[in-house]
Amino acid sequence: MAELCGIVGIGQTKYDAKRIDVSMPGLCREAALRALEDAGLGFADIDAVVVGKAPDTFEGVMLPENYLADALGAVGKPLLRVHTAGSVGGSTANVAMSLVQAGIHDRVLTVAWEKQSESNAMWGLSLSPPFSVSVVAGAGGYFAPLIRKYIARSGAPEDTGIRTALKDRLNAHKNPYAHLQIEGVDFEMIANSPMLWDPIRYLESCPSSDGACAMVLAREQLADDAPNAPAWVHATAMRSEPTQFPGRDAVNPLAGRMAAQDLYKKAGIQDPRREIDCAEIYVPFSWFEAMWMETMGFAPEGEGWKMVYDGATALDGDMPINMSGGVLSSNPIGASGMCRYAEAAMQVRGQAGEHQVDGAKLALGHAYGGGSQYFSLCIVGTEKP
């Protein structure tokens, strides 16, 4: 690696079902300008822009970043558009980081966004090309059988998902940007919410959100001089595998396990649960927290649910997970991965306000996408690697 990369600015929009107060450029600028303000910089200080978003069908605009070029201050500069399914917010940040790490640019602005209210994600996911099977049911219908398989394998108690959802929904009350802040939410309310795709209840599911998340990245010397302490990038990792083939383990995918091991190796981490202070994990449906605890090596196989049950993943537990309220509370799909990275970085910068984990020095950001087949990860720290 030619250069260290520091995250010197973070900006998020308020996440909401319909941000009808802003256009697509307005939404992206809201996040970008907040990130620049945090970094004490303007658009003129930026060398390149990397944009991430999930399918263009979610807004009905083809390559919308071309349309956004001047709103994001990219005119006359390089602009890249990354798209790796649900993991895109993470992989977009990884690509932006690599531009700094490779020594190609000094400062990079990266923005990930989705404005689902412009179109309809369920429609976007359910198009039926000739000679192919359409999922039709959307993401919940796709992932529910994987969760049932996990329950059958691990013998996890059936309220594991409800407990996870309650934790995330209560954390969201502490995050001013969160989309869903459900008043009076408790175990009973979640348990009694409609069953959508057994075993996933309505309140165990992510919402459809409008929103954008932005980060300003800088090379070491410039990050040292940033007005607010940077989050240093210790390691990033990505892995992908095909959607379907006989013998594939879609519950605990090899790509996810390999990405985690690669990440820990690069960051010099031996015991992730002990060494990492907190993590933001992509959990669009409650049960995925327990499942990813195993994939990420925080719990032995078959025991991820115990971390939920024991309260280990609560804000005051030994391995806090999704301090921001997570994807369950805000899901601007293309940005959701970058929101995870941003929260991890906010934690090690001590910026997380009421959802701050005391003394967090090393945090992990995680995103996944497709049929649990795309994984993007990063580890950020208060200290340089």
Partner 1 sequence: MREVGIVSFAQSSALRERRNEVEILLPVAKEAVEASGMKRQEIGFTCSGSSDFLQGQAFAFVMGLDAVGAWPPVVESHVEMDGAFALYEAWVKIQTGEVDSALVYSFGKTSPGDLAEVLALQLDPYCVTQLWPDADSVAALQARLFMARAGLEERDLAEVAVRSRRAASDNSHAIVKGESDVETLLAEPCRSSPLRAHDCPANGDGATAMVIATGDRARALCDRPVWIRGFEHRIDAPALGVRDLTRAPSAQAAARAAGVHDDKLDFAELDAPYTHQELILRESMELPEDLEVNPSGGSLCTRVLFSCGLTRVGEAASRIASGAGDRALAHTTQGHCLQQNLAVVLEGE
d(CA 91, CA 237): 9
Q: Which of 83, 149, 174, 306 lies at the binding interface for partner 1 (CB under 8 A)?
A: 83
**DSSP structure string for 249-266:** -SSS-HHHHHHHHHHHHH
Output the 3-class SS for 162-201: HHHHHHHHHHHCCCCCCCCCCCCCCHHHHHCCCEEECCEE
d(CA 95, CA 18): 29
How many Cβ atoms sit within 10 Å of the Cβ of residue 135? 14
Quote the tokens at residue 381: 């720290």
CB of 40 or CB of 297, closer to partner 1: 297
The b/e string for 28-42 (b: 16+ C-beta within 10 A; e otherwise) is bbbbbbbbbebbebe
Q: Which of 79, 165, 328, 362 lies at the binding interface for partner 1 (CB under 8 A)?
A: 79
Q: Which of 78, 145, 268, 300 lies at the binding interface for partner 1 (CB under 8 A)?
A: 78
Query: Does 125 participate in binding partner 1 (rule CB under 8 A)?
Result: yes
How many Cβ atoms sit within 10 Å of the Cβ of residue 345? 28
Shortest distance in whole angstroms from residue 184 CB to partner 1:
36
Q: Which of 32, 36, 95, 378 lies at the binding interface for partner 1 (CB under 8 A)?
A: 95
Q: Give the three-state DSSP class for 234.
A: strand
Shortest distance in whole angstroms from residue 172 CB to partner 1:
27
Shortest distance in whole angstroms from residue 307 CB to partner 1:
25
**Tokens 């790490």 label which residue?**
101
CB of 10 or CB of 82, closer to partner 1: 82
Shortest distance in whole angstroms from residue 375 CB to partner 1:
8
CB of 81 or CB of 163, closer to partner 1: 81
CB of 57 or CB of 228, closer to partner 1: 57
Shortest distance in whole angstroms from residue 112 CB to partner 1:
13
CB of 60 or CB of 300, closer to partner 1: 60
Q: State whether the Cα torsion 351-356-359-360 is positive or negative.
A: negative
What amino acid occupies position 43?
Answer: F
Site size with partner 1, rule: CB under 8 A: 67
- In the stretch 232-271, what mask flags binding to partner 1 with x, by CB under 8 A? -----xxxxxxx-x-------xxx--xx------------
Site for partner 1 in 126-145 (CB under 8 A): 127, 129-132
| H helix runs in the chain, sequence order | 24-39, 64-68, 88-101, 121-125, 138-154, 160-172, 187-191, 220-224, 254-267, 272-275, 288-295, 304-309, 326-329, 333-349
Shortest distance in whole angstroms from residue 305 CB to partner 1:
25
CB of 244 or CB of 270, closer to partner 1: 244
d(CA 280, CA 135): 28
Site for partner 1 in 6-65 (CB under 8 A): 23-24, 53-64
CB of 216 or CB of 238, closer to partner 1: 238
Give me the residues that bind partner 1 (CB under 8 A), please.
1-2, 23-24, 53-64, 66-70, 74-85, 91, 94-95, 98-99, 101-104, 118, 124-125, 127, 129-132, 237-243, 245, 253-255, 258-259, 370-371, 373-374
